[in-house]
Structure 1
């Protein structure tokens, strides 16, 4: 069975090189799947034209949509000629991320592919880019594409939280590893598990004289090594493909990904929203900016989209 069957490809009208479309076509050549090239368009001036009737405004909107459909068709000529099945979907919506999520809910896409770029760190903390909204609210996996190639025989990283006993972490680990193995099988690649664990709390070492930081660090390390080894055994992954390092995930994952020249990192994201997202952020978001390869973000099994209607 194919890993993905119905894929939504989000295009970027501001660039000539459509990374998401190129990656989607590559995916379709590797496995049989239906692609839909997607674009949301909006022009506030059309909504403010009080001199026009509702029908006239709708006619103008449809003219813009038709123009964008023709623009997309130019990009699709070559892959269509090569036998790739690609539909076109252009919608009028003033919030691009919401348009994407609504499309997923309406047409049951099982993967969203979108090109991404490096976001300014400060702006990412204050202004949430479309990428982050999609990551937090999209119910299906989201593949954010960078410029790294997908060579056969490469490396796929599954980012896990092996040391946690919490049920949602255990479940998410399973989903992340399953997605990583699916992609690895498709690309004839190797699956690697990467686990970051926190360093010794400095305040405890200072406040409690009898606290032994070396012993604490050694205990933590071995706990996570044992946990990731057991996790690897469940999925028949070689222990040499298990990587446990002290540090924050946003530091450890990019380091290991560079060392392995990984083509993709699979990461679980809980979809935190609201004030907690603004203050804390999601690990996935911090990691993505620092990776040179694609990132596949996977939601928990019980994730409920905030835009889902009852």
Structure 2
């Protein structure tokens, strides 16, 4: 991780975000870039200014924000971390952040995560953090208020039977990154696969009802065999103590697992979906982020196409 980018959003206290940034920068000897998207609706509407005065007001506001970034960067700079900062004026914060990602090409984007809408509102009025996570080609670390220990507990959440990733490219990318992080010596790694079967009450065929236990066993065996195949190149066995095969609803099981294992970071693959899919089916990733107290690292499929252009 040679370059880290941190989105500084004035709506969030940046304290814990910068603490974790400094931790990673020290571990990897990374260069850090702070980025803020400035926009003030009162100035932008220009109701109190002529065009020239409005321009002066925008520049004054940006200078004020730049001074704040310099102040935030000072402790990291004093700690010997190479750090710079940048900002822009744009009403579309998420797209501005992604354009900065495209220019800066960070290995990781750190993003504070906010409480989200419930119900239909979460899909129609997606907050900035969701929009950034969906559009950023760089891995995104959703940072929460839970502090890290000196030795991180990470959990790579894989799905070897995911219907949109039959080649396994996303899981391999996820495991490669998780293994690289763990090999640095400051983290322990769990590997988790969660699966579910049809509930008994959803089965109406009498033959399937009579053979329900056998059906469940076959499903578990299928997932176990897929997990064995995926882990083979990583010299890990499905029965290793750090490998966990969980049965149940993914968001519920991962939240319970993270709490029981005192996980600091869950590492998940982010699968692109249409708005309609998210409304009808929901998003496992988004439900997990909302449920857990720990941070969540989101990794995109190698074939991901960024919907935002650099210009």
TM-score of the superposed pair, with normalisation by structure 2: 0.90
242 and 152 in structure 1: CA distance in 2 versus 1, 3 angstrom threshold: same
Q: Is the 8 A contact 1:18 1:115 kept in 2?
A: no
Q: Is the 8 A contact 1:136 1:273 kept in 2?
A: no
Q: Is the 8 A contact 2:12 2:112 kept in 1?
A: no
Q: Is the 8 A contact 1:8 1:35 kept in 2?
A: yes
Q: Is the 8 A contact 1:161 1:196 kept in 2?
A: yes
Number of aligned pairs? 306
Kindly state the Cα deviation for residue 125 of structure 1 after the two structures are TM-superposed.
4.5
Q: Is the 8 A contact 1:112 1:142 kept in 2?
A: yes
Who is 1:193 aligned against? 191
Alignment of 1:220-235 (within 5 A): 220-235=219-234
Who is 1:216 aligned against? 215
Kindly state the Cα deviation for residue 141 of structure 1 after the two structures are TM-superposed.
0.4
69 and 244 in structure 1: CA distance in 2 versus 1, 3 angstrom threshold: same
Q: Is the 8 A contact 1:254 1:290 kept in 2?
A: yes
51 and 76 in structure 1: CA distance in 2 versus 1, 3 angstrom threshold: closer
* Structure 2 stretches lacking a partner, 5+ long: none
Alignment of 1:127-166 (within 5 A): 127-164=125-162
The alignment status of 1:284 with 2:285, answered yes or no, reads yes
The alignment status of 1:69 with 2:66, answered yes or no, reads yes
> Structure 2: how far apart are the matches of 1:102 and 1:88?
15
* Structure 1 stretches lacking a partner, 5+ long: none
The alignment status of 1:250 with 2:251, answered yes or no, reads yes
The alignment status of 1:100 with 2:101, answered yes or no, reads no
Kindly state the Cα deviation for residue 133 of structure 1 after the two structures are TM-superposed.
0.6
Kindly state the Cα deviation for residue 47 of structure 1 after the two structures are TM-superposed.
2.6
